[in-house]
């Protein structure tokens, strides 16, 4: 058994579509007037427009974390900076940030920790040092 899809409510479908396309470099699978679907390496992410507003903390979704290789961590830090997406926090395994509606996202290489070289590079760059 594995995760098939994840649907999240968004307040501005076009803004969220551009955010996820630019961040994850993914193409749309399907578009409807109220929804856009993306393929995240076999998991379908559905952005569904709502005029009801969203409350990420009340949704029960604590974090959506996508798997990366530890060697990709510095590239992800650079990508987030280039897209002006603040890194909210980071650990030895993950970088945490928010989407336009406030949903907490992460890229993670758990269970492999970042190498000491990568950790030193992040510490020098002014980001919170990874926790041990």
Domains of the chain as residue ranges with CATH: 1-51 (3.30.720.120), 60-132 (3.10.180.10)
- Which residues neighbour 82 within 8 Å (Cβ) at sequence distance 6 or greater? none
CA dihedral 79, 81, 84, 85 (to 10 degrees): 80
Neighbours of 10 (CB within 10 A): 23
The residue ranking higher by pLDDT, 19 or 118, is 19
Listed residue (39, 29, 60, 42) closest to 3, CA to CA:
42
Cα–Cα distance for residue pair 91/74, rounded to 1 Å: 13
pLDDT given at position 53: 85
Taking every pair of Cα atoms in the chain, the longest distance, rounded to a whole number of angstroms, is: 47
Bridge partners of residue 42, in order along the sequence? none
**pLDDT higher than 80, residue 116:** no
- Which residues neighbour 53 within 8 Å (Cβ) at sequence distance 6 or greater? 11
Q: What is the pLDDT of residues 12-43, one digit of tens each?
A: 999 999 999 999 999 899 999 999 999 999 99
Span 35-62, mean pLDDT?
A: 91
């Amino acid at each position: 058994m594995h995760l098939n899809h994840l649907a999240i409510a968004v307040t501005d479908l076009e803004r969220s579509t551009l955010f996820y396309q630019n961040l994850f470099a993914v193409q749309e699978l399907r578009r409807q007037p109220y929804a856009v679907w993306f393929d995240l390496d076999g998991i379908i992410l559905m952005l569904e427009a709502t005029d009801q507003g969203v409350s990420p903390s009340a949704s029960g979704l604590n974090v959506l974390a996508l798997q990366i290789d530890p060697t990709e961590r510095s590239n992800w830090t650079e990508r987030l900076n280039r897209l002006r997406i603040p890194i909210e926090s980071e650990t030895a395994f993950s970088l945490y940030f928010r989407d336009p509606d406030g949903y907490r996202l992460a890229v993670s290489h758990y269970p492999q920790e970042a190498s000491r070289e990568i950790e030193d590079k992040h510490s020098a760059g002014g980001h919170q040092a990874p926790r041990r």
